[in-house]
Amino acid sequence: MPQTKRRKTTTRRPAARKTKRKAGDYTMNWFGAGITAFGLLALFHPGMLGVTIANVLRLLGGDTYLALAVAFIFVGAWMVVAGHMPPLRKRVIWGIALMYLASLIGFTGYVMHASNVHAHFWSATWFILKTDFAALTTGTPAGGGLLGALIYTGTYPLLGQVGSYIVAGIIALVGLCLFFGIQSSQIFDVLHRIGHALAEGVSRIRTAISDWHERQLSGQANKPAKGKHAAVQPARTTDEVDAKELPAAHEFTDRSRARIFQSLNLKLTLPIRRFRIRLLTVQRR
């Protein structure tokens, strides 16, 4: 019997429907305009309303409220123009969030250390912000706000201030890698290269030091010994000692000769005179 070929049945996938915005629906645009206005008021904080909105952002981010205000302005302006949220990747969003959390920990640690506060960070931050709300000002340093105080409350008792800074640095590094799409394998490869370069540099330094030490030892071996290790010299003879100990010949001048003759004359004349005096005394007797 002849074999009948079966036809392949292909099932078409339903095409993805593009969600189109209805004509005349500008809800996202208006929402973006409100966010932009909110960010501008917080950035420039004009009047009581602006200061109050700035302090509202300070509740969340403390001294980083200006960065939050700029982020609100950017997102709101994008929504006003495009009618939707900015098309950011998830890794970019997570990277920005992690770097922001790291900055909150750093700001909180700095302000708490400057204020000499070592416990109850949430209450201390809330007291600062409540005072600024009442005084309508944004001048008092508030660290990383209530969010930063909450995170610092968990890191400070376990790791201390320095440990909290280290944790903040690690979180910021992870966020930076996520933001730029750097994979962990690339980081380990770079670390491996750095370690190999350091090891090679250390080995070169050690070889250079050993060569210098060998040159110093060879130079000392070629030099004559001094001090205790000096070579024994032969004993000097008595003639050499007498010749060295004798004074050098003195060249007499005319004045020195005259003085010598005068002294000799005096030594000779005095006994002669005494002898004559004795003879005269004897003759008189």
Confidence category of residue 261, pLDDT binned at 50, 70, 90: low
Provide CB contacts within 8 A for 127, sequence distance 6+: none
User: Rounded to an integer, what distance in angstroms lies between the CA atom of residue 39 and that of residue 69?
Assistant: 4
What confidence category does residue 14 fall into, taking pLDDT thresholds of 50, 70 and 90?
A: low
As a whole number of angstroms, the distance between CA 118 and CA 122 comes to 11
Beta carbons within 10 angstroms of residue 87's beta carbon: 8
CB atoms within 10 A of CB 245: 7
Amino acid 241: pLDDT: 47
pTM of the predicted model, to two decimals?
0.64
Closest among 160, 88, 74, 62 to 119, alpha carbons compared: 160
Q: Are 152 and 121 in contact (CB under 8 A)?
A: yes
Q: Which of 221, 113, 102 is nearest to 169 (CA)?
A: 102
User: How many residues in the chain?
Assistant: 285
Q: What is the mean pLDDT of residues 191-208?
A: 90
Residue of 76, 98, 93 lying closest to 85 (CA atoms)? 76
- Residue 11's pLDDT is what? 57
